[in-house]
Amino acid sequence: MAMPLVFVDTNVLIYSEDRSEGVKHQRALAWLDALWQHRRGRLSAQVLNEFYVNVTRRVRPPMPMGDARAEVRRYQHWSPWQIDHQTVETAWGLEARFSISWWDALVIAAAIHQGCQYVLTEDLPHDQQIDSVRIVNPFLTGPELLNA
């Protein structure tokens, strides 16, 4: 059985670059390595934009812009979802029904539209089911979850 598609939120990408985060850095790398290996990672243009801004302006020390651009280009292989009208409509429904933030609703909507089974994030409750996706906190469980 093939590993399911997994949508990766911004915080996981940031932790994968931030060596000062110790365990979170290592767990983020483990997840991303597994997703690269199995070609099952997905994300959105929103996530890539947030990643770029955060690693070049908010993380200390900031990542050089050229390096951040290279990472964004590398993640283009994951077919970033472009936020369109239907995604916005889905996100509005999720925001209202699940009382989640607008930005989280856009992430979940993009994951749903890409057919993802899981969303890796620390921003929502671990193991919460939101429509067809399950929230997984990558710092509470490892990628072996996907082989179960």
Q: Omega before 62 cis (within 30°)? A: no
pLDDT at residue 143 above 70? yes
Contact 32, 8 (CB under 8 A): yes
Condensed to tens digits (0 to 9), the pLDDT of residues 25-72 reads 999 999 999 999 999 999 999 999 999 999 999 888 999 999 999 999
- Angle at alpha carbon of residue 138, lines to 135 and 141, rounded to 5°: 95
Please give the torsion angle defined by the CA atoms of residues 86, 109, 11 and 62, in that order, rounded to the nearest 10 degrees: 0
Condensed to tens digits (0 to 9), the pLDDT of residues 72-118 reads 999 999 999 999 999 999 999 999 999 999 999 999 999 999 999 99
- Going from N- to C-terminal start, the domains of the chain cover 23-51+77-140
Q: Which residue has the higher pLDDT, 44 or 2?
A: 44
How many whole angstroms from its chain centre is CA 145?
16
pLDDT for position 1: 54
Question: In this structure, what are the phi and psi dihedrals at residue 74, rounded to the nearest 5 degrees?
Answer: -60, -40
